[in-house]
Amino acid sequence: MSIVAAYVVPHPPLIIPAVGRGEERAIQHTIDAYEEVARRIAAHAPDTIVVVSPHAPAFYDCFHVSTGDAAHGDMGNFGAWDASMTVPYDQQYASAVSACARGRGVPICGSGMHDGELDHATFVPLYFVNEQYGGYQLVRAGLSGLAAADHRELGRCIAEAARDLNRTTVLIASGDLSHKLKADGPYGYAPEGPVFDRDVTRLLDAGDLEGLFHYDGAFLEEAAECGLRSFQIMAGALDGLACTHELLSYEGPFGVGYAVAAFEVKGAQGDNAVQAAVDEEADVRETLDEAAEARVDPFVALARRAVEAYVRTGRPLALPDGLPPELVDQRAGVFVSLHERGDLRGCIGTIDASTACVAEEIIRNGALAASEDPRFAPVREDELDALSYSVDVLFPAMPVSSLDELNPTCWGVIVEKGSRRGLLLPDLEGVDTVEDQVAIAKRKAGIHPGDNDVELYRFEVVRHDRGGEARCD
């Protein structure tokens, strides 16, 4: 046998319930995708699981491949000593990988350094695997400071060893994406971070593994990525194999990008069982999507139609017939927001009505959110299925005389000084106080934070999303 599947997974320690203590629910899509990967691995019933880990011993000029009988790991460093495991190493397989690499001029480091200790980037994926499957042996490989071509070659040796030893093998490429997605995240923000994550998730979703080898080193350093070299080793292991490809999830709520992707080798052992699991998952998703579609809010449905029409044709959507009265008989300012797998993908709005009715406002601003938001590249057609929408309809603004009349959960705020005007919608994540809300609105208007000689207005918003209409009373 050979490589039967490969999976890209992240390794946040808090995804382990004993560590997260409830915080892991913020990355539920990642958890769901991880559980799906574990089910697929169990269906393949591999003899050996190869984990490529950024946190295994790493060296500038060689690769570490762990040796020994077994390794123990736990989450004690993260306050959860009871979360532990011991896994046996596949010594013959590890030796075969090392011999192949050396034969091809790829240096392998001597063993003995932390071979018996599992790092968290290995522990986390095996935690999910162990909930579904046991009886495998482990090969653990680290990364190096060598060229991308050397990482590809190590991956080829992993596949060659599987063939030579007749091992049914699954490879797990452990690695987070950028660590610089949010200013309030643990590593801060860099504009290269979101760009890197969008590009890598696009490559994984398209199965374009060759694209993983064409990044500039300075760009990668600014993006503070973690897993690219793991993914390059995976790409080498899959060289020449016909695979399906699927991006199962992507999230970045804590300022670090988490992607889960699956590559199933066509015709591999366990393929029928894996396909059955995939089909079952797809049937469940389709049923849920159909039920949700039946409940979709007409404001959201119109925003989706407007964006999809503009992205596909380059022309605004014509005003549809048969819209409900609240869309065609009223005028108001409207904000249309697009999200892709939980992260903002575009938002454009108007404070006051600029068209004949709310429906036309949605059509106009939906197209602009997809194409003219200066923070993002225009939405591509291949992204449309991943987008979710919300529509905020603004009531007329009312002047207020003090901060006591504001509430960041229920009221939006407008700050004015002369010709400068900044607006912030209500109920935004991370905006918990009136002072925060006003300060951000000042920054948006270009008003100095300490300048209190400003005019304040509040406005009510009715938010429409997949859950329907919501307003503050």
pLDDT in tens, 192-246: 999 999 999 999 999 999 999 998 888 999 999 999 999 999 999 999 999 999 9
Backbone angles phi, psi at 3, to 5 degrees: -65, 125
Query: Is residue 153 one of the residues assigned to a domain?
Result: yes
- The runs of H, that is alpha helices, within 265-381 are 271-294, 298-313, 325-328, 358-371
Give the chain's end-to-end CA distance (angstroms, integer).
64
User: How do residues 16-27 score in pLDDT, each as one tens digit?
Assistant: 999 999 989 899
- pLDDT(155) > 90: yes
Task: Say how many domains are in the chain.
Answer: 3
**What share of the chain has pLDDT > 90, as a percent?**
65
Same domain flag for 233 and 308? no
Element (H, E) at 35: helix 28-44
Among 246, 251, 241, residue whose Cα is nearest residue 281: 246
473 falls within a domain:
no
What confidence tier does 441 reach under pLDDT thresholds 50, 70, 90? confident
Alpha carbons 364 and 359: distance in angstroms, whole number: 9
Shared-domain flag, residues 240 and 138: yes
User: Are residues 122 and 219 part of one domain?
Assistant: yes
In-domain check, residue 63 = yes
Q: Are residues 339 and 269 in the same domain?
A: no
Supply the CATH number for residue 460's domain: 3.30.1490.150
Strands 48-52 and 169-174: parallel
Let me know whether 27 and 105 are in one domain: yes
Same domain membership, residue 407 and residue 345: no
Domain endpoint, select from 290, 321, 353: 290
**CATH number assigned to the domain comprising residue 306:** 3.30.700.20
Judge if 84 and 116 occupy the same domain. Answer: yes
The answer to the question of residue 471 being in a domain is no
User: Do 137 and 191 belong to one domain?
Assistant: yes
Structure tokens at 244: 């399906």
**341 plus 371 within the same structural domain:** yes
Confidence (pTM): 0.61
Residues 53 and 140 in one domain: yes
Last residue of a domain, one of 261, 290, 319: 290
pLDDT of 280 reads 58
| Structural domain contains residue 421 | yes
Q: The domain spanning residue 54 has which CATH number?
A: 3.40.830.10
- Indicate the pLDDT class of residue 287, thresholds 50, 70 and 90: very low
DSSP 3-state of 123: helix
Would 470 be classed as within a structural domain? Answer: no
Return the higher-pLDDT residue of 461 and 46.
46
| pLDDT value at residue 292 | 43
Residue 469 within any structural domain of the chain: no
- Length of the chain equals 473
Please report whether residue 344 resides in a domain: yes
Instruction: Based on the fold, state whether residues 425 and 382 are members of the same structural domain.
Output: no
Domain boundary, last residue among 365, 394, 423: 394
Res. 84: pLDDT tops 70: yes
280 and 348 together in one domain:
no
Going by pLDDT thresholds of 50, 70 and 90, the confidence category of residue 126 is: very high
Domain of residue 360, residue span: 298-394
Task: Count Cβ atoms below 10 Å from residue 285 Cβ, excluding itself.
Answer: 10
Residue 38 or residue 289, greater confidence: 38
Average pLDDT over residues 429-440: 86
